[in-house]
Amino acid sequence: MEGSPMERMKRTTLVHPLPQSSSSSPAPASLHASDQTKPACPLRPSMTLQGELVAQIPGLAEVLKGGSWTQPTCLCCSSNNVEPLVLVQLADRIDPVTKKWIISRLEAPMKEGGAALLVHSGEDDGGNVLVLSAPRCTQLRVTEDLGMWKPYMDGNMVAFSYDDRKSFSNVDDMQVFLTLAERQYVVKYQLDSLRAKKDRTIPGVPESRGVLFARESIFQKLEKVGVVKAVIALHDQRRLGDLAKAWYSGGQLLGQPLDSIQAYFGTSVAFYFSFLDFYTWALVPPAVLGVVLTLFPVGSGVTHNAAAQEPDEDEPGIPVSGLVLQAMFSMLWSTVFMEAWKRRTAVLSYRWGTLQPTERYAEPRPGYKGPMGRNPVTGRPEPCFPDWEHKLRVGISVPVVAFFLGLVALGMTMFYYFEAVARHFHEDGGTWLSVPLLYLPSVAHILYTNVLGTLYGNVALGLTEWENHRDESSFQNHHTTKVLLFNFFNCFAVLFHIAFIRQDLALLRKRLASLLIVTQLLNQCTEVVVPFLVDRIFSDGTKKPKEDDPEEDRLRAQGRLPPFPGLFPEYIELLVQYGYLSLFSCVYPLTAVLLLINNITEIRTDAFKICRLFRKPCSAPVSNMGVWQPAFEVLGFVSVISNCWLLLLSPGVRRFCQEGGFSSRNALLFAVLVEHVLILGKMILAFVIPDEPGWISLKKQELEFRSMQAFNQQLQQ
C-alpha cells in the first residue's frame, strides 16, 4: 500500500532538487556476468565507486567524490563496489556535530543499537546530503526479519533464514538475491528501526526543540525537528529505461512485465498493476454482453430503450427474464472475478516471496508509541500499548467517521433544498438579478465539499495516528478505509439519491453516461495529455539537451518532479469505476465497454506516470492489495442489492407486472426474493472457490509441518 494523498503530509519525503541516480549496478540480466560485487579483495578499505559508474552519473558523482563509504566490519560485507540506495537530505545549515552523530548511529552495528548501514557523507563534512547503502549482513538479517521467502537450493521458495543462508540460491550476489526495491526497503527499515536507547538530547540540537525519549524513533524525531528533510530512494536510470521499454514504450499492447515491475518498484506497486491487468481482462465478458445487449435490444435491452422514450407497447421480448439473466451474470461475474483474483494474489505473493509476511514479529512502525516493555511474543524490547486501549480508540474513530459521512449527506440535502428554493424564488418573481442565485447552491456545495474533504483528510490521518497501530499494514489499512469510505460516499451519494430516493432511472442513466464520459475525458487529459505536455516542456525547459550528457539533463528534470502520491488515487479510480459498472450495470449496459477502453490506456499512462513523473516509491513488501480487496468484494454484495432494486424500478419490469396483473407489493417481494437468492449464491460460490490454488496450500502446510517438527526437536535440545 502506498497510502493516500495525505500520506505526503506524514512522510516528509520532500523533493530534493539534487539530481541523483544509482546506475552503479547493471541491469539484472547482466548481473551474473559482472562478479565485481563479490568480495574480490576483502577488507580493502577504498570503497569508492568504479570510475565508469561515476562518470555515468554526474550528479551523484559530485556528491560522492569528496568522502568515502563506511568500512564494514565483517569480511563478507566487504566489496569494492558499494551501491548507493537511499539519499538522506539534511537541513541546509546542519550542525556538523549533529551530522556526525547521525552518521555514527547509522554506522554502528545492530548490537550497539545502530542501523549497521554504509554511509557516504558527501563532498565534505559540512554537506547536507548522506548517501546510504546496506552491507550484505544487514540485507540478509532484515530479509529474515521481514519473513521474506527466497528460492532454496531445491528450487522451492522457503522463508529465508540467516543461519542457513548458504543453502539459498544466489545468496552471494545481493544484486540477484534481493531486488532493487527490496534492497532499498532494507535501508528504510533500518532507518525506521533506529531507536534511542535512553532519554537523551540530539547533539547540536537545542533541548527546547526536542528530547529523544527512550525507544523513540530517531529518524522520526529528526524529521520532526527539521534536521532530516527527506529520505529518498534513488532511481536507477538504466534499469528504469529497460523497464519503461518493456512496459509501455516498446509498442506492445498486451501484458506487462510484472516481475520487473516488482523488482524495481516493489510488491505494492506490482500488485496494483497486476490487479489493473487482471481487471481489464475481466472486463471483456461484460463488455461483450453489453455490446450484444445494445446491438440486439430484444429481451433485456427493453429496459434501456423503454426508459429513454416513453414505454413502447409494440416492443417484443421477455424483458424480465432477460434482466434477471443479466443480474445473475453480474453476480456470477463479480464473484468469480474476485475469487480468481485472490488465487492470482496467492500465486504472485508466492513468486515474490511475500506469502507470509511476519510483520507482527518484526520491529513496530516508527510512529508506534507506548510505555517501554517487551513484546509478549518475541520478547524483544519495544513500546507496548495496551491492546484494549488501541481497540477502544479504533472504536471511537467509527462515530467520528460516521459524523463526517453524515456531513456529506447533509451537504447534499442542503444543496437540493436550497436549489429548489432558489429555483422557486426565481420562477415566482425573480428578475435577471436573481439568476446568479440559481448558481449559488452549486457553488456553495462545491466549496463545502472541498473544505470538508480537506478537513476530513487531516482528521482521518490524525485519528489513525492516534489509534496507535503497531504494524504499518494495519495503519495503512485503517487509514485507507477511512479515506476510502469518504471518497466513495462522496462519489456515489448523488447516484444513490437519484436511484433510491428519487427513483428516476432516466436521470440516473444520463448522469451515469455523463460521469463515465467525463471521467474518460478527464482521465485522458490528466493522465495522457498533461504528462505528455509536461514531458515536452521538460525537454524544452532546459533548452536543448546536451548531446554528450543526456543523463544529467534527465536527472535535473527528475529533480523537479513531485513525490509519488501513493497508490490511493489509482485504486480509488478503479473502485469508483467498478462501482459504476457493478452497481448500475443494468441501467447502462455499455459501461463495461467504456471502462475496457479506458483501462487499456490507463495501464500505459499509469506506467508512464510512475516511471517518469514521480520520484521512486519505497514501500514494505506486501502479500496482497490490502484493504482494497475487501472493498471490491463488499461492492460486489452491494451491487446485488442495487441491481435488484434497479430491476424493480425498470419500466420493462413495471410493464410486465401491469400486464401480468402482479401488484407492486408482489413485484417487490419477488425482487427481494431474487436478491436473497443471488446473495446466497454469491456467498456459496465465494465459499466453494478456494482462495489459493491447491499447490500453494500444500506449500504452506509443508512449511507448517516442518516448523512443527523443527519446534519439537528444538525443545529437546
Within 8 A by CB and 6+ apart from 3, the residues are: 10, 476, 479, 480, 566, 567, 568
Please, what is the minimum distance in Å from the beta carbon of residue 387 to a second copy? 6
Please, what is the minimum distance in Å from the beta carbon of residue 474 to a second copy? 14
Which one, 435 or 698, has the nearer CB to a second copy?
Answer: 698
Site for a second copy in 348-377 (CB under 8 A): 358, 360-361, 376-377
680 to 709: interface string for a second copy, x by CB under 8 A: --------------x---x--xxxxxxxx-
Site for a second copy in 160-199 (CB under 8 A): 161-164, 167
Please, what is the minimum distance in Å from the beta carbon of residue 603 to a second copy? 34
What's the CA gap between 233 and 614, in Å, rounded? 12
Please, what is the minimum distance in Å from the beta carbon of residue 160 to a second copy? 8
Within 8 A by CB and 6+ apart from 40, the residues are: 79, 80
Please, what is the minimum distance in Å from the beta carbon of residue 508 to a second copy? 18
664: contact with a second copy by CB under 8 A: yes
DSSP assignment string, 18-84: S----TTSPPGGGTTT-GGGS-SSTT----PPPHHHHHH-HHHHHHHHSS-BPPPSSGGG--S-PPP
Site for a second copy in 622-641 (CB under 8 A): 641
Which one, 172 or 535, has the nearer CB to a second copy?
Answer: 172
Which one, 27 or 677, has the nearer CB to a second copy?
Answer: 677
Please, what is the minimum distance in Å from the beta carbon of residue 456 to a second copy? 21
Element (H, E) at 382: strand 381-383
Tell me if 378 sits within 8 A of 145, measured CB to CB. Answer: no
Which one, 112 or 702, has the nearer CB to a second copy?
Answer: 702
Cell readout for 227 is: 534536521
214: contact with a second copy by CB under 8 A: no
339: contact with a second copy by CB under 8 A: no
Tell me if 615 sits within 8 A of 558, measured CB to CB. Answer: yes
Among 201, 378, 413, 450, binds a second copy (CB under 8 A): 378
665: contact with a second copy by CB under 8 A: yes
Please, what is the minimum distance in Å from the beta carbon of residue 695 to a second copy? 9
What's the CA gap between 503 and 491, in Å, rounded? 18
Which one, 162 or 614, has the nearer CB to a second copy?
Answer: 162
Rg of the chain over Cα atoms, rounded to whole angstroms, equals 29
Q: How many CB atoms lie within 10 A of CB 285?
A: 15
Please, what is the minimum distance in Å from the beta carbon of residue 653 to a second copy? 14
Please, what is the minimum distance in Å from the beta carbon of residue 389 to a second copy? 12
Please say whether the dihedral angle defined by the alpha carbons of residues 359, 360, 361 and 363, taken in this order, is positive or negative. Answer: positive
Please, what is the minimum distance in Å from the beta carbon of residue 214 to a second copy? 24
Number of residues lying near a second copy (CB under 8 A): 40
What's the CA gap between 226 and 90, in Å, rounded? 8
Q: How many CB atoms lie within 10 A of CB 130?
A: 23
Q: How many CB atoms lie within 10 A of CB 329?
A: 16
640 to 659: interface string for a second copy, x by CB under 8 A: -x------------------
247 to 276: interface string for a second copy, x by CB under 8 A: ------------------------------
Q: What are phi and psi of 118, to 5 degrees?
A: -100, 130
144 to 163: interface string for a second copy, x by CB under 8 A: x--x----------xx-xxx
Which one, 36 or 664, has the nearer CB to a second copy?
Answer: 664
Please, what is the minimum distance in Å from the beta carbon of residue 175 to a second copy? 24
Read off the amino acid at residue 204. G
Which one, 387 or 540, has the nearer CB to a second copy?
Answer: 387
HSE of 484, CA atoms in CB hemisphere, 13 A: 26
Please, what is the minimum distance in Å from the beta carbon of residue 709 to a second copy? 8
Please, what is the minimum distance in Å from the beta carbon of residue 171 to a second copy? 13
Share in percent of the chain as helix, strand, coil (round to 5): 65, 5, 30
Which one, 58 or 693, has the nearer CB to a second copy?
Answer: 693
Within 8 A by CB and 6+ apart from 401, the residues are: 460, 463, 482, 485, 486
Q: Could you write out the three-class secondary structure of 104-142?
A: HHHHCCHHHCCCCCEEECCCCCCCCEEEEECCHHHHHHH
Among 35, 125, 312, 387, binds a second copy (CB under 8 A): 387
Which one, 209 or 380, has the nearer CB to a second copy?
Answer: 380
41: contact with a second copy by CB under 8 A: no
Which one, 517 or 673, has the nearer CB to a second copy?
Answer: 673
Within 8 A by CB and 6+ apart from 392, the residues are: none
Cell readout for 247 is: 512496459
Which one, 47 or 158, has the nearer CB to a second copy?
Answer: 158
| Length of the chain in terms of residues written | 717
- Contact stretch for a second copy (CB under 8 A) within 18-26, 254-262, 442-450, 668-676: 668-676
Q: By the criterion CB under 8 A, which residues form the site for a second copy?
A: 144, 147, 158-159, 161-164, 167, 358, 360-361, 376-378, 387, 641, 664-665, 668-669, 672, 676, 694, 698, 701-708, 710-716
